[in-house]
Amino acid sequence: MGNVIILGSQWGDEGKGKIVDLFSEHFDIVARYQGGHNAGHTVFIGDRKFVLKLIPSGILRPGKQAVIGNGLVIDPAALLAEIETLEAAGVPVRENLFISNRAHILFPVHRMMEKMSEGRPGRVSIGTTSRGIGPCYEDKIARRGIRVADLLNQEFFRERYASVMEEKVTIAKALGIYEDLDLARIRAEYEDFAARIRPMVRDTGWLLNQAIRDGKRVLFEGAQGTMLDIDHGTYPFVTSSNASAGGACTGTGVAPTRIDGVIGVSKAYITRVGGGPFPTEALDGAGEQIRQRGKEFGAVTGRPRRCGWFDVPLLRYTAAINGFDSIVVTKLDVLDEFEQIQVCVGYRLDGKVVSEMPPTVAEIAAIQPVYECLPGWGSSTFGIDSYDALPEKARQYLAYLEERTGVEIGCISTGPERNQTIVRAGSRFARLVG
Ligand code: IMP
């Protein structure tokens, strides 16, 4: 039924890649709407592992089209490397991938500028992926960015490039972070990239709207997660784009009236990479146990992820921001060996119950989570593909999360493979993605 957004309901890494790949079977086009190659969507097909950074996971389905929307920032070197890796693995990319002419282009100077924000004394260190994503979005908002269409127009590109680079070099020198970049060589390299991506460039807003008018179905794939959203996340410990549902419209040019449903993806617990407050972080052995069992290391940077317990108030907050129709709970099997499972059911600040997500990191860091303890199920759920086959206590755990969050759990993932998935019959989820 219609067009659906699938996005992360926590701090990213919820396992969206597998879910989008799996259900893209029922859609015609999969469109990414924000972020860049800071994202890492891992998909396993048989014994093959694909880590997609810029290209929507739908590309792995034969015959499906994939769109990189205007809301993304594109490092063309990273994009072309990803295309080549996929093609070497036998995935046809060039005929199925369309790149927005309005997306912004990321340059090596953006990585250089990021060192300034991350490394300078007195600046908050966000713990970014160091890909230059933030500085590229800064240029977009400051209206001095270079877009895909600009890159394709050699005369305009050369002019714009010269003025943007001159400004960057001046700032970098003044701040003492200048690296001797060969700007002429980089320009020539980007002109070569332009020639290579040109056949895939389209007005993707027009393409998507035409497709929708023709009765085709679009799946919008979020990157990162709602708590990393520039507006609604734990600012300033966030990414630089709108990872939440609203970003799907601004980041593709498809109106809210054309979207039929929003699905959140959540782990059965919670993780975070990089700095920032994390109310349910388990700093004891349980966090380490989750990290090891869940192989919780960043897909892009390899950094160990911080791990903790499922956070109901956080999910209720992200459900409201996104208007979730249903959620997918992933990595349930990671909790198989816990005798007891904690769930945060409320927040207290200075001893008082808080029902809203506090706006400042100082307040979020000071939250005292209120936990309830649920019994573990003590047996393997790995690979189970029917709800009734789950251990009773695992079903009780899911029912508890559903009741506390007020959001349907329409799908459960019990392993990385496509067939290690449960879709609940009669759910809103089944109706939206079927
Ligand atoms: P940036 O997106 O590289 O600017 O990083 C900003 C914050 O978002 C950092 O805490 C990163 O660790 C986090 N982040 C960015 N992309 C991802 C992702 O795909 N998964 C999880 N965290 C991410």
Give 143-164 pLDDT, tens digit per residue.
999 999 999 999 999 999 999 9
Within 8 A by CB and 6+ apart from 277, the residues are 234, 237, 361, 364, 365, 367
Instruction: Give me the pLDDT at residue 296, please.
Output: 95
Round to whole Å and give the CA distance between 142 and 103: 15
Q: Are 16 and 248 in contact (CB under 8 A)?
A: no
pLDDT at 299 over 80: no
* Residue showing tokens 């309830």: 372
> What's the pLDDT tens digit per position in 162-198?
999 999 999 888 888 888 889 999 999 999 999 999 9
Kind of pairing, strands 421-423 and 409-413? antiparallel
Determine the pLDDT at residue 172. 86
Closest to 265 (Cα-Cα) out of 332, 208, 170: 332
Q: What is the mean pLDDT of residues 366-390?
A: 97
Examine the residue annotation and report whether 150 is marked as an active-site residue of this protein.
no
Q: With left for phi above 0 and alpha for psi between -120 and 50, is residue 230 left, alpha or beta?
A: alpha
Parallel, antiparallel or unpaired: strands 4-8 and 218-221:
parallel
CB distance 7 to ligand 1 below 6 Å: no
Q: List, as one string, the DSSP characters of 119-157.
A: HSTTS------SSSHHHHHHHHHTT---BHHHHTSHHHH
Instruction: Compute, in angstroms, the gap from residue 374 CA to the centroid of ligand 1.
Output: 31
Substitution site in 10, 117, 232, 239 for ligand 1 pocket (most atoms within 8 Å of beta carbon): 239
Residue 81: CB atoms within 10 Å: 14
**Beta strand segments in 38-148, E:** 41-45, 48-52, 65-68, 73-74, 97-100, 104-105
Active-site residue, 214 included: no
271 lines ligand 1 (CB under 6 A): no
| Cβ of 106 less than 6 Å from ligand 1 | no
Please report, for residues 96, 130, 163, 228, 383, the alpha-carbon distance to residue 416 in angstroms, rounded to integers and kept in the order given. Answer: 25, 27, 47, 24, 8
383: left (phi over 0), alpha (psi -120 to 50) or beta: left
Q: What spacing in Å lies between the alpha carbon of 73 and ligand 1's midpoint?
A: 14
Rg (CA), the chain: 22
CB 305 within 8 A of CB 273: yes
Q: State how far the Cα of 46 lies from the Cα of 30, in Å rounded to an integer.
A: 22
> Average pLDDT, stretch 361-368?
96
CB contact at 8 A, 285 and 293: no
Phi first, then psi: give them for residue 307, nearest 5 degrees: -125, 150
Cβ burial of 118 (10 Å; 0-12, 13-18, 19+) is middle
131 lines ligand 1 (CB under 6 A): yes
Q: Average the pLDDT over 244-250 and give the result.
A: 98
Tell me the CA–centroid distance for residue 60 and ligand 1, in Å: 24
420 lines ligand 1 (CB under 6 A): no
CA of 2 to the centre of ligand 1 (A): 30
**Looking at residues 38-51, what average pLDDT do you find?**
84
Among 116-125, 216-225, 331-340, 359-368, the least confident range: 116-125
What pLDDT does 93 receive? 96
Going by pLDDT thresholds of 50, 70 and 90, the confidence category of residue 306 is very high
CA distance 129 to 146: 22
Q: How far apart are CA 81 and CA 69, in angstroms?
A: 19
| Averaged pLDDT for residues 87-100 | 95
* Interval 251-273: pLDDT, tens: 999 999 999 999 999 999 999 99
Alpha-carbon distance of 279 to 271, in angstroms, equals 11
Of 37, 41, 104, 110, which one is the catalytic site residue?
A: 41
Which amino acid type is present at position 163?
A: S
| 53 φ/ψ angles, rounded to the nearest 5 degrees | -110, -45
Kindly provide the residue ranges of all beta strands, DSSP E only, lying in 206-322, ordered along the sequence.
218-221, 261-267, 270-272, 306-308, 310-311
> What is the rounded CA–CA span in Å between residue 103 and residue 240?
14
Q: How many residues does the chain have?
A: 434
Backbone angles phi, psi at 142, to 5 degrees: -80, 0
- Model pTM above 0.85: yes
